[in-house]
A and B are shown apart, each in its own frame.
Chain A
Amino acid sequence: GQNIDQPTEMTATEGAIVQINCTYQTSGFNGLFWYQQHAGEAPTFLSYNVLDGLEEKGRFSSFLSRSKGYSYLLLKELQMKDSASYLCAPMDSNYQLIWGAGTKLIIKP
C-alpha cells in the first residue's frame, strides 16, 4: 500500500532552524512535493524534488533520497508567520499526489 509518515506536531523557537522529516512508500515515484497550509486556509506550494539531493529556495530547503524513501523540509531563520502545517506529498506512478496528514509547526517567541 501507499503510506506517508511525518511527525504530527513540532515546536521551534523564532530565529532557529527546524527540520521536518517525511518517509514514504508509494507505487512508483514521480517526485515529491511540500506544501504549506496555514490554519483555515488552502495549501500552497513550497518545493518539488524529483532527483536526489537538496533544493534551496530562500529560507526553505528540501532534500530527497529516493533509495531511502525519505525527504525533509528545512526551515531557517524561523519567523512567527512560519507557524503552519507542512504537508509532504509524493507523486505515484499514476501522477497522483499521495498526501501525508501534515506536520503542525508551532513557533514560539
Chain B
Amino acid sequence: IAGITQAPTSQILAAGRRMTLRCTQDMRHNAMYWYRQDLGLGLRLIHYSNTAGTTGKGEVPDGYSVSRANTDDFPLTLASAVPSQTSVYFCASSDSHEAGEQFFGPGTRLTVL
C-alpha cells in the first residue's frame, strides 16, 4: 500500500441498505477526513478524526457514522442509504489536524437508487 486507498471504487446501492466505505492509509498520519463532492459544490466535510480513538462531525454528518479504532483505518458507514447520498466520496489524511496539507484517496463513486 502506498498512500491512501479506498474501497470500493464504485458502488450502486438500493435505498435503505447499509454500506461501509473503507479507507486505509500507510503514512502514519494522525488526522483523517471524509468528504463528499457533488457537481457544482466544493468538497464538504462529513466527519473527521484528529487522532486514533477520536472523531468529530463536519459540515454534513447526518446519515453517516465513522470510527477510528487505529491510526490506519477510517471507515465511513451509511446506516440506511438515501438517494441524496449519491456522490463521490473522498477520504483524506494529514500529518496533523493543524498541518493542513491533506492527501486524498482515489475516491468512491456511490449511486443510491
Asked if B44 contacts A97 (CB within 8 A), the reply is: no
Are A43 and B40 within 8 A (Cβ)?
no
Q: How far, in angstroms, from A79 to B44 measured CA to CA in the complex?
A: 30
The answer to whether A99 and B106 touch (CB under 8 A), given A33-B100, A91-B100, is: no
Query: CB-CB contacts of B93-113 with A at 8 A, as 1s and 0s?
Result: 000011011111111000000
Task: Verify if B2 is at the interface (C-beta below 8 Å from A).
Answer: no
Main secondary structure of the interface of A (DSSP, over half): loop
Given contacts A87-B42, A87-B43, A101-B40, contact A43 B104 (CB under 8 A): yes
Q: How far is the CB of B9 from chain A (nearest CB, A)?
A: 11
Q: Is the CB of A96 within 8 A of B45?
A: yes
| Residue B1 CB within 8 A of the other chain | no
Q: A43-B43, A87-B43, A100-B42 are contacts. A95–B100 as well, Cβ < 8 Å?
A: yes
Say if the beta carbon of B41 comes within 8 Å of chain A.
Answer: yes
A: number of interface residues (CB 8 Å)? 21
Mark each residue of chain A from 26 to 47: 1 if its CB lies under 8 Å from any CB of chain B, else 0: 0000110100000001111100
A42 near B100 with CB under 8 A, answer no
Q: In the complex the two chains form, is A45's CB within 8 Å of B41's CB?
A: no
B74 within 8 Å of A (CB atoms): no
Chain B residues positioned under 8 Å from A31 (CB to CB) = 100
Assess the B90–A42 pair: CB atoms within 8 A: yes
Q: Check if A42 sits within 8 Å of B42, measured CB to CB.
A: no
Which single residue of chain A is at the shortest CB-CB distance from B31? Answer: A95
* Whole-angstrom CA separation of A95 from B94 in the bound complex: 12
- Contact pick for A4, options B42, B97, B102, CB 8 Å: B42
6 contacts between A and B (CB under 8 A): A42-B105, A48-B101, A96-B58, A100-B42, A101-B41, A101-B42
Which 5 residue pairs across A and B have the least CB separation, nearest first?
A99-B42, A42-B104, A99-B43, A101-B42, A95-B98
Binding site for A on B (CB under 8 A): 35, 40-45, 48, 58, 90, 97-98, 100-107
